């Protein structure tokens, strides 16, 4: 166990497992260390940790002053199975893993604050007992936060399942949420998945503050609603602090195949198609995607992961473990690689996403609309083809298309759940060749500029995080 230096402010950061949570919490920790001179202990839940999580958190490139504290693994095999849905499985993992949290925090010398993600709310009880201020780093969108804050009221007032409502969900001060965009976790209130999700979001008001991985110019409507609408004041909602975009920065090898290939392509000409960690397509959908890319005759990089018909989130808990999976030739259409070799590059499993997105030849991004990937795309001024798979991604996709104007979403075949090759061809051409694509690109580049300004010294996000640090420093001085 590493104990904080006595002459430095010291905080702890706690993330639930899953790369979509680990990455932004780790970036927050780095930001606190590098930009604000804080000593950070990152509490790593090792139970069911993926290979990618282990490699990331034990990288030799982590900055000095950031210590990773491994929480001993526990056996949860009697409590979960391979069929246990994501949120329920995460929550059981966290609940069992955090049983020694009190002793860990005491041994660390009682950090001056703890930052947690949405699925670690069990920590509130321990921190209240130890008088440690606790902040939630809400890693999805601000728009999704408004829905979560409204959910307890919705749960109380609506008798039927939300999915059966005849009208969209009217989130106070925000755009309505269509029932078809509702995340899977709230579609059936009778199951553990909903009960765990509801447990965590109903505890958000226990936070001393809520950090957002967003910035003022990106989601102004949702931010204004939280700050000004009477509904959120009555909850009451803790103060919100937009501190993003906090994104991962790849450092690929100099001979990376994707970047070398991109160097030879024209400006803004390449579609990057990648569903990031945890997302998979069915065999039928991967086939249609490949044919759509071929028919479009546009340049592309396709990150091809072995398909599965089991679940769109099938790889959530084993990210990084399919590195030796079959070559994409085994599950792409016959002859596809040969026919597209002049315009396309297919790579198995993984690509340096941030480096690809910031390359000048990349013109668009086909993405599952996970919030990390969305922030990475906007931070580099790249418009999107929205391809949501699970969690709140459908809500993100609708927001990006209809409110922000930086994405287009293909339309699936009704009743089949598959987007056909002709529709894929259409949207690929639209975003890379059409005037609509140019409009989206201009908007995305405006957001790129505003994101850079927000993170600069004195920018809105930098100031936002600084105000939190000032807050708990003052509290600490008072208590001393």
10-47 pLDDT per residue, tens: 999 999 998 889 999 999 999 999 999 999 999 999 99
Other beta carbons less than 10 A from residue 260's beta carbon: 11
The catalytic residue among 67, 117, 181, 208 is 117
129-163 pLDDT per residue, tens: 999 999 999 999 999 999 999 999 999 999 999 99
Average pLDDT, the chain: 92
Confidence tier at 102 by pLDDT (50, 70, 90): very high
Residue 36 annotated as catalytic: no
Q: How far apart are CA 466 and CA 468, in angstroms?
A: 5
Q: How far apart are CA 410 and CA 244, in angstroms?
A: 28
Please tell me the predicted confidence (pLDDT) of residue 309. Answer: 78
Q: CA geometry: angle at 466 spanning 462 and 467, to 5°? A: 120
Question: Residue 312: is its pLDDT beyond 70?
Answer: no
83-99 pLDDT per residue, tens: 999 999 999 999 999 99
Other beta carbons less than 10 A from residue 228's beta carbon: 10
Q: How far apart are CA 293 and CA 215, in angstroms?
A: 33
Q: How far apart are CA 329 and CA 277, in angstroms?
A: 21
Q: Among candidates 137, 176, 108, which has minimal Cα distance to 402?
A: 176
Two tokens, residue 440: 């989206």
Helices (H), 315-420: 336-339, 353-357, 371-379, 393-398
The full set of domains in the chain, from first to last, is: 10-243+458-479 (3.40.50.2000), 257-452 (3.40.50.2000)
Helix (H, G, I), strand (E, B) or coil at 161: coil
Query: Length of the chain in residues, anyone?
Result: 480
Q: Across residues 285-304, what is the average pLDDT? A: 97
247-284 pLDDT per residue, tens: 988 676 667 899 999 999 999 999 999 987 657 899 99
pTM: 0.93
Cβ atoms of residues 47 and 272 within 8 Å: no
Q: Among candidates 49, 153, 85, 93, which has minimal Cα distance to 312?
A: 85
Please tell me the predicted confidence (pLDDT) of residue 4. Answer: 45
Two tokens, residue 415: 């009743």
Share above pLDDT 90 across residues of the chain, in percent, rounded to a whole number = 83
The catalytic residue among 21, 200, 359, 368 is 21
Residue 359 annotated as catalytic: no
Please tell me the predicted confidence (pLDDT) of residue 479. Answer: 55
Q: How far apart are CA 36 and CA 169, in angstroms?
A: 40
Question: Residue 201: is its pLDDT beyond 80?
Answer: yes
Distances (CA, A) of 321 to 54, 55, 277, 331, 456: 11, 11, 11, 18, 37
Please tell me the predicted confidence (pLDDT) of residue 417. Answer: 79
């Amino acid at each position: 166990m590493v104990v904080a230096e006595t002459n430095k402010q010291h905080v702890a950061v706690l993330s639930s497992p899953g790369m979509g949570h680990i990455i932004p919490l780790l970036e927050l920790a780095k930001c606190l260390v590098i930009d604000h001179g804080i000593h950070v202990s990152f509490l790593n839940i090792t139970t069911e940790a993926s290979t990618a999580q282990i490699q990331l958190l034990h990288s030799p490139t982590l900055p000095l002053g950031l210590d990773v504290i491994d929480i001993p693994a526990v056996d949860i095999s009697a409590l979960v199975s391979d069929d246990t849905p994501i949120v329920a499985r995460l929550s059981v993992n966290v609940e069992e893993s955090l049983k020694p949290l009190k002793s860990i925090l005491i041994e660390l010398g009682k950090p001056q604050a703890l930052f947690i993600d949405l699925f670690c709310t069990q920590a509130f009880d321990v921190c209240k007992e130890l008088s440690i201020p606790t902040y939630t780093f809400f890693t999805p969108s601000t728009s999704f936060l408004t829905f979560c804050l409204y959910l307890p009221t919705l749960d109380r007032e609506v008798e039927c399942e939300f999915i059966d409502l005849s009208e969209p969900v009217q989130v106070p001060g925000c755009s309505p949420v269509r029932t078809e965009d509702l995340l899977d976790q709230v579609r059936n209130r009778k199951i553990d998945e909903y009960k765990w999700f509801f447990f965590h979001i109903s505890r958000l008001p226990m936070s001393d503050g809520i950090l957002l991985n967003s910035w003022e110019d990106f989601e102004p409507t949702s931010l204004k609603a939280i700050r000004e609408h009477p509904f959120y004041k009555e909850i009451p909602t803790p103060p919100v602090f937009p501190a993003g975009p906090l994104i991962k920065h790849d450092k690929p090898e100099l001979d990376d195949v994707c970047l070398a290939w991109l160097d030879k392509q024209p400006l803004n000409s390449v579609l990057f198609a990648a569903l990031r960690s945890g997302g998979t397509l069915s065999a039928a959908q991967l086939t249609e995607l490949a044919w759509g890319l071929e028919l479009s005759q546009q340049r592309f990089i396709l990150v091809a992961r072995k398909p599965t018909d089991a679940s769109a989130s099938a790889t959530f808990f084993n990210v990084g473990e399919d590195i030796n999976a079959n070559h994409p030739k085994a599950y792409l259409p016959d002859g596809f690689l040969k026919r597209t070799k002049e315009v396309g590059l297919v790579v198995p499993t993984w690509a340096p996403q941030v480096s690809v997105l910031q390359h000048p030849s990349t013109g668009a991004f086909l993405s599952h609309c996970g919030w990390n990937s969305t922030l990475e795309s906007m931070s580099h001024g790249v418009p999107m083809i929205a391809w949501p798979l699970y969690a709140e991604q459908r809500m993100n996709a609708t927001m990006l298309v209809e409110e922000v104007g930086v994405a287009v979403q293909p339309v699936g075949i009704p009743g089949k759940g598959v987007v056909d090759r002709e529709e894929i061809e259409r949207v690929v051409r639209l975003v890379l060749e059409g005037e609509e694509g140019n409009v989206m690109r201009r908007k995305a580049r405006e957001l790129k500029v505003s994101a850079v300004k927000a993170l600069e010294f004195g920018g809105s996000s930098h100031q936002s995080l600084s105000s939190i640090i000032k807050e708990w420093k003052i509290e600490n001085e008072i208590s001393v």
